[in-house]
Structures are given as structure tokens and as C-alpha cells.
A = this chain, B = another copy of it.
Amino acid sequence: MRQIGIGLLGLGTVGSGVVRLLQDHKDKISAITGRELVIKRVVVHNPDKKRDVELPDVPVTADIADMVQDSTVQIVVEVMGTIDPAESYIEQLLRAGKHVVTANKDLIAQKGARLVDIAQQKQRDLMYEASVAGGIPILRTIVNSFAADQILEVSGIVNGTTNYILTQMNQKKVSYAAALKSAQELGFAESDPTNDVAGVDAAYKMIILTQFAFGMNVTLDDIAVEGIDKISLEDIEQAQNLGYTIKLIGAAKQIDGKINVSVGPALVPAANPLAAVQNENNAVVVKGAAVGETMFYGPGAGELPTANSVLSDIISVTKDIGIGITGNTFNNYRQGAALAPATAVKSAYYFALKMRDIPGQMLTLTKVMAETQASFKQLIQTSSDGDFAHVVMITHEIDLDQLQKITTAVANLDNISLLSTYKVL
């Protein structure tokens, strides 16, 4: 059987998983692709470090030039992470005629368009299924199964760390700080968790999903990003009392041919399938004009789930090589990006407020709402400690402009302060 030579850049958790799956499912992969997939070379930062996997007779070096020049390697798997030097490495490899599979979402979200162009010029495949939602085959599904549909919205839970933290707060009634600490101890959060808890990681994934669902390239600056680090246990409990679960939701919506992309905490009704997504799992909802609402659920990270997505890319590239059709972009749906204006972006909102327990405050609040043409769906005064009353309200749909006006108006009031504001799904 003819061979396909595989090169690995990086041999950490995901890299080891790729080696393991290639070894364990050798026969099935050969049966499907008609090729024997053989690891020919590994390049890592530190070749002397002890590894979990055994690769006898495979050269392991630190110099990217070794990989670039190895003519036995046709497909290189980049699982080293970070942008520098991964971007330059992938560029060199593509220019040298290698096909590339990567799991690097930061890179694809920020430099993907450029690398995709280079791959196309050189007629090489560049695939990155594992860059979004680890084990969920969401990118390939959008390409293959929504081609004849018009996607109206792609949204969901695309960061496992924050979902783990929120699940712990929900189930164990612990504070954000305590939940973060336990996530760090269990390895679900990094020692510097900023990228995850501030919503940046989720935003990178939404950049890639937006490209696939709408064919539009957006940047981090185009996305309203809010993290979970200001969510209090009181917010979680209050939401629960009202029948909601707070989740970090990434959403890209089409509004009159333009799009709005956001990442932020939102109240999800208990009956919504996203409310049931627990711990480090991810779920992506795709709404199509024809199909309606579909959801894809699974592990968002982890050695073998991510490695499986890498393997599905390797198999796809191998088939393309066999048929002689490499160089088609992973997603060939492209159109100019246009962002929806603030007045077109609508949602219901939850407001938690603290007001001095003196007559007339509720009247003041309802006046603010009336002036911005916003109406309540629910308004509850939950408790008073004598001096201050706690009030939560859920509005009917308002636009971002109205939201801004309400928060500014409340900030100017003497006896009412805004504790938190979240979208309501």
C-alpha cells in the first residue's frame, strides 16, 4: 500500500493523542483512505524531553528546516500552539509544498486568512477542524451539510474552562474565585486564566465559526467581548430562581445581510438544550433558514477528542491527495464582512439593581425604562436589608442603543445602582 508521510510539530497532549490514534486505528484508516499513514519526523522545542509516546526510528529534532526539507513528509500536523513561531513555520511548510493540519485557534483566528491564501496559491490543503470545539466536528459539518441552507445564527458554548467554572458555581453554590481555584487544581483552567475567563478564547472561536457560517472575516475588534469574572454567586442563584442558567455564550447572527458577533454571559432558559451542557463540554447551535435549529454537543478539549478532529483532517487531506484535488480551501464560502448597527441588534436583558429603600425609587426606575421605550417582562423586588432593596428585571427585546441609554441613565441616579446586566436567550 502506498504511504503518506506525516510530520508532527509539537508532541504535547494533542500530539501524543494523534500518535496514539494513528497507531491504534491504523487498519481502519488504511481501509478508508487506501494509504498507510506513517509518522516520518517530529520537530519540538526540546527534543531531549521525555515523552509519553514511543516513536522508534522517528527523528525528533528542534529545527523546523529539518521538516521543511524532508521530502518523505507530505502532511504536517501543527500542535505546538502560540502564534510565533507557528505562523512562520506553517508558511514555510506550505511554501515547501507540505499540506498542513493545525489545532491552533489563536493562529487561525488572527492569521488564518493569510495562511489560507498561501495554501491556495501553492495548491496545498490547510485544515483546522480541531481549532473550534475540540471533539465536535462543527466546521466540516457546516461546510458539508449547510451548503444548501442559509445560516441565520451560529451560537453556543465554545469555551470549556468557563463552562466548567459556571457549572461548579451553579451546582455547588460556590463563588467565582472558589470555582476558578478548583478548575485550576483539576487542570481545567490555566494558572493565568485570563484568556479563557475574559472571553477572548471564545471570541477567537467565534471568528472562525463566523467565517464558516457567513463567509465573513471579522477581527477581535469587531466583537463585543465580556468574560465571566464579574459573575457573582448571587447572579447565578437569582437566575436559577427565575428558571435560567448563566452560560458564557458566543453568538454570530445575521441581521438583514449584516452580522453581529458577541461573547458574553447570558441567561439561558432551563428548557433550552444549551442549559444542560455541563462542565468542560461544548455545544454549538446552528440555525438555518431551512433546517431550523440544530445543536452539536461534545467535549470541547482533551487529548483524544482533539486528536480525533486532527485525524479527520489528516484523512480528508489524504483523500484529496489520492484524488488529486488538494488546494481547495477548507471553507470556500466568502463574502465581504458587514457589521450590523447597534440599533439592529436586539435581545432581552436581565438587570440586577440595588436601590435605597425609600419611597419613589421604583417610580424613578420605571421612568428610565419608559423614556427608552423599554418594557418589562418580569420585575421582582427580591429582598430588602432595611436600607437597600434588591430588584431584578427582565426586559422584552431592546436594542444595544436602548441598553446603553438605560445603563447610562441608571448610573446617573443617586439612589439606584446597577449590579449586573446580562443578555437573556
Contacts and interface: CB of A to CB of B under 8 A. Distances in A.
A107 interface: no
A21 interface: yes
Interface stretch (A177-185, A228-236, A309-317, A395-403): A309-317
A389 interface: no
Interface string A224-251: 0000000000000000000000000000
A311 B148 CA distance: 6
A364 to B, nearest CB: 40
A1 interface: no
A7 interface: no
A312 B148 contact: yes
A129 B302 CA distance: 29
Contacts of A24: 150, 289
Given A28-B147, A148-B21, A299 B305 contact: no
With a 10 A CB-CB cut-off, give which of A144, A278, A289, A299 has the most chain B CB atoms. A144
A29 B145 contact: no
Contacts of A189: none
With a 10 A CB-CB cut-off, give which of A28, A147, A293, A298 has the most chain B CB atoms. A147
Contact of A297 (B29, B294, B302): B294
Interface string A24-61: 11001101100000000000000000000000000000
B141 A290 contact: no
A294 B277 CA distance: 11
B333 A308 contact: no
A370 interface: no
Nearest to A294: B298
Interface in A279-299: 288-299
A199 interface: no
Contact of A145 (B31, B137, B333): B137
A304 interface: yes
Contacts of A145: 129, 137, 140-141, 308-309, 312
B332 A308 contact: no
A136 B325 contact: no
A297 B273 contact: yes
Contact of A276 (B273, B298, B325): B273
B290 A294 contact: no
Nearest to A302: B292
A306 to B, nearest CB: 9
A146 to B, nearest CB: 8
A131 to B, nearest CB: 14
29 contacts: A17-B290, A24-B150, A25-B148, A28-B150, A32-B147, A32-B332, A135-B294, A140-B141, A140-B144, A140-B145, A141-B145, A144-B144, A146-B308, A146-B312, A148-B311, A148-B312, A149-B311, A271-B276, A273-B276, A290-B308, A291-B299, A291-B304, A291-B308, A292-B299, A294-B298, A294-B299, A295-B297, A297-B297, A323-B325
